[in-house]
């Protein structure tokens, strides 16, 4: 079972005339039969790149397998670039009674995340009766933002949502 070709090639091209583009041919409009003969003389394929409204197809004379390989390569490069531009959100959890050593350890991790162009969601979780110490949680979040001040900027001030207080810190623009 052979795969269906993604492009019209050689005798599958249905238009009467084609516009040839590329390096190995003079860019001009040719009759389809003449273009096919040119491709056969070069031992290459006539590949339809796109169709236009006026009935003239845009074609290239190339090795079809090589053409497909180069297209896959370009697609992979585009996907890599898209992934590089994406930012994700990393979460760091604290409590109102977080010790200094733990706090500093989490600041170091947050700096790594921000340097990797990720946003950091810092949350302070209140367990049981700790909810009465809301100001303590806000102080911790503001201190966290202050520690990351040289490489990150808070998106918004700390907000209380149920039993947690959170704040997002994003990388500074260069």
Question: How high is the mean pLDDT in each 10-residue block of the chain (174 residues)?
Answer: 62 78 78 83 83 79 85 87 74 89 92 88 89 86 89 87 89 78
Instruction: List, for residues 101-133, the tens digit of each pLDDT value.
Output: 999 999 999 999 888 888 899 999 988 888 887
Q: What is the dihedral of CA 65, 71, 75, 76, to 10 degrees?
A: 50
- The domain spanning residue 16 has which CATH number? 3.10.20.80
Instruction: Examine residue 36 and state whether it is found in any structural domain, yes or no.
Output: yes
- The number of domains in the chain is 2
Grouping H, G, I as helix, E, B as strand and the rest as coil, residue 137 is helix
Are 21 and 63 within one domain? yes
H or E segment at 124?
strand 119-125
pLDDT at 167 (0 to 100): 92
Exposure class string for 3-26: b at 16+ Cβ within 10 A, else e: eeeebbbbeebebeebbbeeeebe
pLDDT at 83 (0 to 100): 67
- The domain spanning residue 146 has which CATH number? 3.30.110.10
> Cα separation of 151 and 115, whole Å?
8
pLDDT at 71 (0 to 100): 87
Tell me the β-bridge partners of 160.
165
| Cα-to-chain-centroid distance, residue 86 | 5
Are 166 and 108 within one domain? yes
For residue 13, which of 31, 25, 29, 28 has the smallest C-alpha distance? 31
**pTM of the full predicted structure?**
0.52
Instruction: Examine residue 110 and state whether it is found in any structural domain, yes or no.
Output: yes
Are 106 and 64 within one domain? no
pLDDT at 1 (0 to 100): 41
For residue 27, which of 60, 71, 49 has the smallest C-alpha distance? 60
Are 55 and 111 within one domain? no
Instruction: Examine residue 76 and state whether it is found in any structural domain, yes or no.
Output: no
Question: Domain containing 100: what range?
Answer: 89-171
Are 93 and 166 within one domain? yes
Instruction: Examine residue 57 and state whether it is found in any structural domain, yes or no.
Output: yes
- The residue to which tokens 């040719």 are assigned: 30
């Amino acid at each position: 079972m052979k795969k269906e070709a993604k492009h019209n090639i050689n005798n599958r091209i249905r238009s009467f005339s084609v516009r040839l583009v590329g390096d190995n041919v003079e860019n001009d409009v040719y009759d389809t039969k003449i273009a096919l003969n040119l491709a056969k003389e070069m031992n290459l394929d006539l590949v339809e790149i796109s169709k236009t409204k006026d009935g003239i197809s845009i074609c290239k004379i190339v090795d079809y397998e090589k053409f497909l390989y180069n297209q896959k390569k370009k697609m992979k490069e585009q996907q890599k670039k898209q992934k590089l531009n994406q930012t994700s959100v990393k979460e760091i959890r604290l409590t109102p009674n977080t010790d200094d050593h733990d706090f500093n350890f989490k600041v170091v991790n947050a700096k790594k995340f921000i340097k990797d162009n990720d946003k950091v969601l810092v949350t302070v979780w209140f367990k049981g009766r700790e909810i009465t110490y809301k100001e303590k949680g806000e102080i911790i979040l503001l201190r966290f933002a202050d520690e990351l001040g040289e490489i990150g900027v808070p998106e918004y001030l700390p907000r209380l949502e149920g039993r947690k207080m959170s704040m997002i810190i994003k990388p500074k623009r260069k």
